[in-house]
Structure 1
Amino acid sequence: MKHWKNTILSAALLAVLTATPAHALEYTMEAPDDYLFGRPTSDDTIYEWEDPNVDRSKNVALIPPAFGSPTSYLPGSGTPLTPNLIPGALSGGGLVNSAGSVSYPDVEGGNYTAGTAFTQVTSDLYYSAGHLGTLKIPAIGLSTKVYQGTDNAALRKGVGHFKNTSLWDGNCCLAAHNRGTRDDFKDLHTLEPGDTITWTTKLGTRTYEVISVTKVRETDTSGTAATSDNRLTLYTCVRDQRDYRWMVQAIER
């Protein structure tokens, strides 16, 4: 009898020791929101304050610079993983930067006055291939054709000429992509005073010398004004700064 009681007590004690409270098995697990797999559980995370509408796809992904390089620790530094997939790169508009497709405001006609020089674009100044001339900038290894207009159709082929600015005498204004479908002016901002630019049209060939490389507002069209001297004014986007443009001016040597 005593042995039987000991057996019952041992079994009861074992049941008490191994029992798990029912409430420990009661839990819920919410699935993460769509595209936020592995979302942190902390209340104070980047997802609480960062703009959720930012494109984080491979379209804007960057290949990081080399480890230990001067730009390796700078936010947003590197080269595009898929430059042709940058938002807006393949759609209408003008120059392309990482913010999307952008364009310059049209330059209105009649921006030349007495005392300034101006050469109008006429049908006889086009080459048979449809371009207006050839631009060469040895310092950045550039040699490319120039086409009329600064819309995306023109800039897909090469450098664009601002309509209603001079083609030859006076101030000839040009623009080009620095990323995306073409990158003719990708290194434009690296030019320095003294670098040379050669501009060839049916009217001849001229060599110009860079006098300034400046950053201007997108809406600042003062650089396109007609001049009495012969010069080139070149524009392209400033990376990640949609409201600004690089402007290079060069005067005839």
Structure 2
Amino acid sequence: MKKTIYSLCAACCLLAALATPASALDYTVDAPEAGLFGTPTSDDTQYITRDEPVNIDRSKTAAVIPPAFGSPTSYTLNSGTLLTPNLVDQDWAAQVTVSGNGTGAVVTPPALSGSAIRPGSSSLAVTQYTEVTDDLYYSGGCLGTLKIPAIGLSVKVYQGTDSATLARGAGHFPDTSIWAGNVCIAGHNRGVRDDFGDLHTLEPGNAVTWSTKLGTRTYEVVSVEKVLETDNSGTAATTDNRITLYTCVMNQREYRWQVQAVEVK
């Protein structure tokens, strides 16, 4: 009997559902009230200029390589080194200025510097760099000779700053220039060699001579300072010709002596 009652109830429910008007299932979604969503963020403004920069050079001669990540100038606007420094006369490049405007590098010769740069643009002198190539090595394997008369120093300089290299003489930092710009050299001051033992005694005005297959250049000491071992800002590429020398500080492992000398004009 109960089974019959349950069956009748289920049938009634099914009939009631089927009899529900279809219109009862319709629904609408009203538009949201004003302010529920943010204003459109699209910008139809066209940022276009037809002003053509003066003396523009889009060739690889004017191309600049960005500085390495984490280097002292990695966050400096428009900093870098020439992509093809061998295509530019080094004396001329030392005075060239470059301004970035989004359309290319504006290279301004020395005679026009200061007058041909577009107003409001930032400019900088192009850093100099000479790569170490096979033809720059002497038969003995060195790259040149460093002389500092004030401390009686005359030492051969080899490529690299590892222990084996510094056991032969002074060592050239591989990532720095060998001629134009900033030439960086390290040396021992005790132990297997004592090349830079008196480096910290140099004074402003002392002469430093660097001789390579590219020529001989004389520098004048401008600073002698103690820097942290982790401070590599002194090895950054420069717009002028200079030489930067490093050696350890006795009993202070976390420091280095840094001597910088600029070319005597």
Aligned-pair identity (%): 70
- Between the aligned partners of 2:164 and 2:138, the Cα distance in structure 1 is 18
Counterparts of 1:144-159 in structure 2, within 5 Å, are 144-159=155-170
User: Aligned equivalents of 2:174 and 2:216: distance in 1?
Assistant: 20
Separation of aligned partners in 1, 2:160 and 2:249: 20
Give the alignment's Cα RMSD to 1 decimal: 1.7
Alignment partner of 1:175 out of 180, 186, 189: 186
Deviation by residue 1:131-152 (Cα, 9 ceiling, x = unmatched): 0000000000000100000001
Cα displacement string for residues 26-72 of structure 1 (whole angstroms, at most 9, x for unaligned residues): xxxxxxxxxxxxxxxxxxxxxxxxxxxxxxxxxxxxxxxxxxxxxxx
Residue 119 of structure 1 aligns with an amino acid whose one-letter code is T
Unmatched tracts of structure 2, length 5 or more: 1-69, 75-79, 83-125
The 5 A counterparts of 1:27-106 are none
Matched, 1:113 2:124: no
- Classify the secondary structure of the residue corresponding to 2:81: coil
The Cα of 1:164 is off from its aligned counterpart by: 1.0
Give me the whole-angstrom Cα distance separating, in 2, the residues matched to 1:144 and 1:118.
23
- In structure 2, what is the equivalent of residue 195 of structure 1? 206
Contact kept, 8 Å, 2:145 with 2:210, in 1: the verdict is yes
In structure 1, distance between residues paired with 2:179 and 2:127? 12
Q: Which structure has the greater CA radius of gyration?
A: 2
CA distance in 2, matches of 1:165, 1:206: 17
Distance 2:255 2:204 in 1: 21
Distance in structure 1 (CA, Å) of the matches to 2:196 and 2:136? 24
Identify unmatched segments of 5+ residues in structure 1.
1-106
Instruction: Classify the secondary structure of the residue corresponding to 2:220.
Output: strand
Q: Distance in 2 between matches of 1:206 and 1:163?
A: 19
SS of the residue 1:211 aligns to: strand
TM-score with structure 1 setting the length: 0.56
| 2:262 counterpart of 1:239 | no
**3-state DSSP of counterpart to 2:200:** helix
SS across alignment from 1:193: coil
One-letter code aligned to 1:123: D
CA distance in structure 2 between the partners assigned to 1:209 and 1:223 by the alignment: 16
Higher relative contact order (CA 8 A, sep 6+): 1
- Equivalent residue in structure 2 for 1:211, among 218, 222, 226: 222
